[in-house]
């Protein structure tokens, strides 16, 4: 099959790196890569050509591809340029906008939405959300250290001793756990909070203290996302977070509700009670933010507290983020691209869940 890879419009990552393109070619596929697609991720056109991929224009890639892989969805006008029956693989987020499945079906396309892959052990090797969250959790700590006007680790010097920084991580999913681990490697004292009790053991295994509020609704079937909590719980949660945040040098927030605005966890009052020089990194910025003062894709300052709103920190580490994303795609394709042929088995739970349109028919919502 002809597998097409486009240059992302607002992202430095590339969906397929040369090493994975080579694997696809060895499996009797052709790979077309738009000119400059990997440039910002440090994979130039020559690297793709050396493994046997064809460098093509955007128009040619859209016209020729039988399977098109993108990280972010295209403009609707680009979908109109694809041949009917083309398989389009991307992060469509139909839970946020169900109409996207209808739009794709109207162009007679088959659409595979990477964010609909079940977040199970069986599908772990294909889980791009977890891969990108891991990158974001690491980079959130790097960004925080860059803005923090003090050391992270404890230091004993001839001029006196410096105590370690205190970090509060809110949300101990993949991003939060990576943030905890990175903070600990850099010598900070870390506390982590999550509504899911299953996170407690993981947090403590990384050397951090788990902050617990009794009475949480714990939905193990939420696919790695937080779930809506009762008003009584929210009030207890808010009081504890304000207490912990007021003592923290860094707060990293990662809590998201699938298909809903992110839960508000840090109020303006809490920010005003934080130390001057403290830093908040809000990874839920694109869905409203966990902090009341977060502005998506912006860094703001409130009473000496720096608030960084960025839900796409993986794009700031494009080389390794692309490598991980690309490997996830390779593992995903093993389910339905075999010896250069397309084979979609809707009895397979992963394919059933992630296929949101099939040959012009909407499948999202059928599961």
- The residues annotated with a catalytic role in the active site are 119, 124, 127, 130, 225
Helix axes 318-333, 128-147, angle to 10 degrees: 170
| C-alpha separations of 254 from 20, 186, 346 in Å | 30, 20, 33
Closest CA to 133 of 300, 295, 313, 320: 313
- Non-local CB neighbours of 39 within 8 Å, separated by 6+ positions: 7, 45
Helix ranges restricted to H, the chain: 18-26, 45-50, 58-64, 76-79, 99-106, 128-147, 174-185, 199-205, 231-245, 268-272, 318-333, 349-354
How many whole angstroms separate alpha carbon 353 and alpha carbon 350?
5
- Non-local CB neighbours of 243 within 8 Å, separated by 6+ positions: none
Closest CA to 181 of 158, 152, 205, 198: 205
Q: For residue 341, count other CB atoms closer than 10 A to its CB.
A: 10
Q: What is the largest CA-CA distance in the chain?
A: 72
| C-alpha separations of 263 from 98, 157, 211, 254, 289 in Å | 22, 42, 18, 10, 7
> Using alpha carbons only, what angle is made at residue 332 by residues 328 and 335, rounded to the nearest 5 degrees?
160
Q: How many residues appear in the chain?
A: 367
How many whole angstroms separate alpha carbon 146 and alpha carbon 366?
46
| Torsion angle, alpha carbons of 331, 335, 337, 341, to 10 | 160
- Non-local CB neighbours of 203 within 8 Å, separated by 6+ positions: 172, 177, 180, 192, 194, 209, 210
Q: What residues are paired with 206 via a beta bridge? A: none
């Amino acid at each position: 099959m002809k597998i097409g890879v486009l240059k992302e419009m607002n992202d430095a990552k590339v969906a397929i790196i040369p090493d994975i393109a080579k694997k696809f070619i060895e499996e009797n596929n052709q790979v077309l890569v738009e000119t400059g697609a990997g440039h910002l991720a440090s994979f130039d056109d020559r690297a793709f050509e050396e493994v046997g991929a064809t460098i093509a224009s955007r128009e040619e890639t859209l016209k020729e591809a039988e399977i098109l892989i993108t990280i972010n969805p295209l403009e609707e006008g680009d979908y109109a340029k694809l041949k009917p029956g083309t398989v389009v693989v991307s992060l469509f987020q139909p839970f946020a906008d169900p109409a996207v499945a209808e739009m794709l079906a109207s162009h007679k396309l088959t659409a595979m939405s990477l964010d609909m892959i079940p977040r199970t052990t069986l599908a772990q090797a294909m889980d791009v959300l977890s891969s990108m969250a891991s990158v974001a959790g690491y980079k959130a700590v790097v960004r925080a250290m860059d803005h923090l006007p003090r050391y992270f680790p404890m230091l004993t010097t001839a001029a006196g001793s410096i105590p370690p920084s205190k970090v509060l991580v809110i949300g101990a999913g993949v991003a939060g756990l990576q943030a905890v681990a990175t903070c600990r490697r850099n010598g900070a004292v870390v506390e982590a909070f999550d509504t899911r009790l299953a996170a407690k053991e993981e947090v403590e295994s990384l050397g951090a203290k788990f902050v617990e509020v009794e009475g949480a609704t714990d939905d193990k079937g939420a696919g790695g996302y937080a779930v809506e909590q009762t008003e009584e719980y929210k009030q207890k949660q808010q009081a504890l977070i304000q207490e912990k945040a007021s003592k923290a040098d860094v707060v990293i927030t990662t809590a998201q509700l699938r298909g809903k605005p992110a839960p508000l966890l840090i109020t303006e009052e809490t920010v005003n009670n934080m130390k001057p020089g403290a830093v908040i990194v809000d990874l839920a910025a694109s869905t409203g933010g966990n902090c009341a003062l977060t502005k998506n894709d912006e860094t703001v300052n409130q009473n000496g507290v720096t608030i960084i709103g960025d839900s796409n920190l993986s794009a700031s580490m494009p080389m390794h983020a692309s490598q991980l994303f690309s490997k996830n795609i390779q593992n995903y394709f093993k389910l339905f691209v075999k010896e250069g042929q397309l084979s979609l088995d809707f009895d397979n739970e992963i394919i059933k869940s992630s296929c949101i349109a099939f040959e012009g028919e909407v499948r999202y919502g059928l599961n």
